Structure 1
Amino acid sequence: MIVVYIIASFEYSPYLEATLKKLEEKEIKQDQVIALPLDRRSEEKRVLESVNLSAGSSGLDYAFFLGLIFMLLGTIYGFVLTMGPVIWGLIGLAIGFLTGILVEKFIKNRRIKKRKKLNMNTAEVFLAINCKLEQKETIEKILLDNGALAIGHYTK
């Protein structure tokens, strides 16, 4: 008797439950099926941060850029204001730098929220099914009809 191991990945959804029910109807016993949910990492990856830093981007790009622009504007308009161009240039630098930091934090928070939302929606479950060679085609059809993301098999 030839034994086949079929591995399929699913997003966690009601289709997974329907798949398990249909496999039971096709005389696949519960001890022949293993459902393994994958845990998502809760901490941020550090590799991407080091890649961004080596690519020349930093967390203060907006702060430096806006500081420069506001300093330039403060210096230009400081000639007509009372305290003079130097003081208004320094005030513009401080305001621009702080505005840039706030913009950078806002953008970073939006990216983190978007990434968390994507990670929450894509929890995966792997099904491992031990069956006979004659049942292989039927089981693969059931898995594909119920939204399996990927299917692989191993014949022993």
Structure 2
Amino acid sequence: MYVVASFKLNKNLERVIAEIEYNNIDRKNILALPLAKKVDLETETSYHQKSFEILPILATILALFGLIYGFMLDLGPILVGLIGLGIGAILGGVIDVFRIKKTRKNELQKKKEPLTEVFLLVHCSNKAQAQQVKTLIWKWSPLGVATYTKQSEGNSNAQV
């Protein structure tokens, strides 16, 4: 008979394993199996690679408008274009800095999430021991607990 439990990777998992071992269940009858998570490639790219995207775009657009409308002003197209370039670079830089800070904050929040989920499999010799392990596991707030009884080669019985 097996007792299967699912935990988030945290200290409760270590505590429940220690308590199961304390209740005379041998370590070789306990299996903790962590699940691998799919790595998102978008979060793996550094924010340095995509850092300043708006700055050159906005600077180019305002420099272009400065050149176009500079013909109508007394300062001339070159000077008004350079002024537009400077204003666009400053505005684009400010927008990019706020966008990078927001991206960094979102990445930190994602890193605070638990890394993975772990399945705990405990082999019990009888139903009484399985019930004892099951109540012991429920004390440590698992995500779920089930028992599995292997009856014969083709038949099996799973209970929640």
TM-score normalised per structure 1: 0.57
* Structure 1 CA distance for aligned equivalents of residues 41 and 147 of structure 2: 34
Superposition pairs for residues 71-86 of structure 1, below 5 Å? 71=63, 83-84=75-76
- Answer yes or no: is the 8 Å Cα contact 1:73–1:92 preserved in 2: yes
* Structure 2 CA distance for aligned equivalents of residues 117 and 48 of structure 1: 12
**Largest Rg, 1 or 2:** 2
User: Secondary structure in 1 aligned to 2:124?
Assistant: strand
* Structure 2 CA distance for aligned equivalents of residues 31 and 153 of structure 1: 18
Alignment CA distance shift 1:107-1:139 (3 Å):
farther
Superposition pairs for residues 80-95 of structure 1, below 5 Å? 83-84=75-76, 87-93=79-85, 95=87
Look up the match of 1:128: 121
Look up the match of 2:14: 17
- Equivalent position to 2:40, from 38, 45, 67: 45
- Answer yes or no: is the 8 Å Cα contact 1:9–1:151 preserved in 2: no
1:28-79 deviation line (CA, Å, top 9, x unaligned)? 22111122445677xx733679xxxxxxxx987744774478559857x969
> Hey, which of these two has a bigger chunk of helix by percent?
1
Unmatched segments (≥5 aa) in structure 2 = 45-49, 151-160
For the aligned residues, what is the CA RMSD?
4.4
- Greater RCO structure (CA 8 Å; 6+ sep): 1
AA aligned opposite 1:46:
L
Unmatched segments (≥5 aa) in structure 1 = 50-57
The count of corresponding residues between Structure 1 and Structure 2 is 143
AA aligned opposite 1:29:
D
